[in-house]
Amino acid sequence: MLLTCLACIASFSSFTGGTDGVDGLPFMALSTFVNQMVDAKSATEMLDVLDRAVDGPIFGYTHAKFAYHGLATWKFKVGLTPSEKASPVLPRLAARVQRMAEDGQFEPREAGGVLFWLGVLGDHIDVPEGLLMALIKSLREKPSGSVSEWWLSNRVWALRACAKLNFYHEELLVSVAQHFKSGDALKKQHPIDLFNLLWFYDVLDSGDKFAEFKNAMKSERDRRDLRASDWTLHREWLMS
């Protein structure tokens, strides 16, 4: 999936020959980065590409997303070696993305996208708390009126990243719990999403501050007679 997405962007950029690309960057700069990421034969080679790009003036959101996406892809393909996990490029990547988030360069959906891949990577790489805080702050406040699907997805992805990294963010926990406690929101959740939410809160809320919400999720699970064993493969992926 990663290679397909990257190849499509590379093909589109070379076809257009334009100067205004994704992130407002020149297409050739992004195309070169993308092509080198596609050609990488290992996570080590991909990290070498990042080493040449991460401190440059053209590094934007798309680069950041593909960087973490690429690491997650290699994690699932063959795993990350100890030297890859300890690469000095990774702290520089985290610092660059954190500065971008703190400077307001991420839209909520973009911050959610990076958080999604950080959740996939989990504790396979070191993720600074400052990076998580900056990305979660970029999600912004709940909009007035109805909640958009993206608003909710961004926060669920952020919760997943926090749970995988064991990072407690009370404001995030409160906002998600308040949404699902209203109306029949829990009843509309897919079984996988319900199990995931319950797992997130079990991991992050060891002090049972959100016991009422967790009990509501368990009641909904029992009402539907759902069993965790029915979703074993997904749960293994979630926790891998």
pLDDT at 30: 76
Does 229 map to a domain? Answer: yes
pLDDT greater than 80 at residue 158: yes
Does 50 map to a domain? Answer: no
pLDDT at 141: 64
Does 212 map to a domain? Answer: yes
pLDDT at 240: 52
Q: How many domains does the chain have?
A: 1
Mean pLDDT score, 125-153: 82
pLDDT greater than 70 at residue 128: yes
Q: Which residue has the higher pLDDT, 8 or 189?
A: 189
pLDDT greater than 90 at residue 136: yes
Does 234 map to a domain? Answer: yes
Does 79 map to a domain? Answer: no
- 223/73 Cα distance (integer angstroms): 37
pLDDT at 150: 82
Three-class HEC string of the chain:
CHHHHHHHHHHHHHHHCCCCCHHHCCHHHHHHHHHHHHHCCCHHHHHHHHHHHCCCCCCCHHHHHHHHHHHHHHHHHCCCCHHHHCCCHHHHHHHHHHHHHHCCCCCHHHHHHHHHHHHHHHHHCCCCHHHHHHHHHCCCCCCCCCCCHHHHHHHHHHHHHHHHHCCCCHHHHHHHHHHHHCCCCHHHCCHHHHHHHHHHHHHHCCCCCCHHHHHHHHHHHHHCCCCHHHHHHHHHHHHC
Q: What is the pLDDT of residues 181-236, one digit of tens each?
A: 877 889 988 888 898 999 999 999 999 999 999 999 999 999 998 877 665 545 44
pLDDT at 123: 83
Q: What is the pLDDT of residues 15-62, one digit of tens each?
A: 333 334 444 444 446 778 878 888 899 999 999 999 999 998 888 888
Q: What domain range is 182 assigned to?
A: 172-240
pLDDT at 229: 67
**Max CA pair span of the chain:** 57
Instruction: Judge whether 179 and 185 are in contact, CB under 8 Å.
Output: yes
pLDDT greater than 80 at residue 3: no
Mean pLDDT, all residues of the chain: 82
Mean pLDDT score, 3-18: 37
pLDDT at 9: 37
Does 38 map to a domain? Answer: no
pLDDT at 37: 83
Does 51 map to a domain? Answer: no
Mean pLDDT score, 119-129: 91
pLDDT greater than 60 at residue 179: yes
Mean pLDDT score, 139-161: 78
Mean pLDDT score, 129-156: 81
pLDDT at 232: 55
Does 200 map to a domain? Answer: yes
Mean pLDDT score, 112-121: 93
CA distances from 35 to 13, 28, 40, 108 (A): 11, 10, 9, 27
